[in-house]
A and B are shown apart, each in its own frame.
Chain A
């Protein structure tokens, strides 16, 4: 069983080293790959000096394009499971073993690490929580499934979903939209409680200014996902 950790990194020089070291220490049995999304800071140098496994995108693609590169990497090198762990230190790699056990045990296609099942740890700001609740509601309305943390970047998928994502993954703000795509294709998504930390470096990709665009774009994307022709498992 080959398991891959995808670490999308854009200007994460402050936290990339601690993220990768934590993975090496706490996530035994997992390989990792850093997807450097054409960072303009020292991210690339830090990774190369430490001999980390890194894929350097020659053009900045945004989070969706970077994560998708990871899924393509996973397909290319024959991984059975892939999990996204953000490069900013928010996700604790010690949950990964638990997540992969749960994925294999339940036979689910996708496992999301959710902050809002046990409501412990860093809970994000009130405004963001309200936004997340709204997405939960929208997804429930459209798919009938409850996803408590649809914006979580900590998500693990099996090879089937990996190939689905390698073929087609949203460009920006991909999390809620891709969950809907997976649910709509008839695959199963399950959540597991996790505790997230506040980011240890870098800035959130969603500034206050962008949040309006985020809400509108993701809502539309989810609605359009709903009226898209269904893509069966055979894809």
Chain B
């Protein structure tokens, strides 16, 4: 992996991290859900700055180019984040259902006592 690519990747990640942190600051993102993104960003940044780690990992996994290793890791991280979000969506849909039902029953009860 050459130094030019390393710098490009680092710049992209730093910009992305800055955007994420800014959104958390403005409360557009909840820290709870943004945490995974921050960890991925920092993780990829570390791998980018120290290509030696990646070369070792790539050799161990039988991947020829460290750049491919970086993409592979990014892909795995993304899948993890998407899965975490799917779990969050499932939980929220149950909560919304329960709230909707409670609200409807409550409204019915209030109408009765009027």
Co-assembled chains A and B: yes
CA gap between A61 and B93 in the complex, in Å? 10
Is there contact, CB below 8 Å, between B101 and A56?
Answer: no
Interfacial chain B residues near A54, Cβ < 8 Å:
108
Cross-chain contact of A171 among B97, B103, B104, B107 (Cβ < 8 A): B97
Interfacial chain B residues near A25, Cβ < 8 Å:
none
Secondary structure class of chain B's binding surface, majority of residues: helix
CA gap between A68 and B100 in the complex, in Å? 11
Stretch at the interface among A16-24, A69-77, A99-107, A128-136: A69-77
Q: Give the number of residues in A that approach B within 8 Å (Cβ atoms).
A: 15
CA gap between A171 and B104 in the complex, in Å? 17
| Chain B: CB-nearest residue to A76 | B105
Does B96 have its Cβ within 8 Å of any Cβ on chain A? yes
Interfacial chain B residues near A61, Cβ < 8 Å:
97, 100-101
Does A58 have its Cβ within 8 Å of any Cβ on chain B? yes
Q: Mark A49-81, 1 if CB is under 8 A from B, else 0.
A: 000001111110100010011001100100000
Q: How far is the CB of A67 from chain B (nearest CB, A)?
A: 11
CA gap between A76 and B105 in the complex, in Å? 9
For the complex of A and B, the 10 pairs showing the least CB-CB separation, nearest first, are: A69-B101, A59-B100, A55-B108, A57-B104, A55-B104, A65-B97, A57-B100, A61-B97, A72-B101, A58-B103
A residues neighboring B (CB under 8 Å): 35, 54-59, 61, 65, 68-69, 72-73, 76, 171
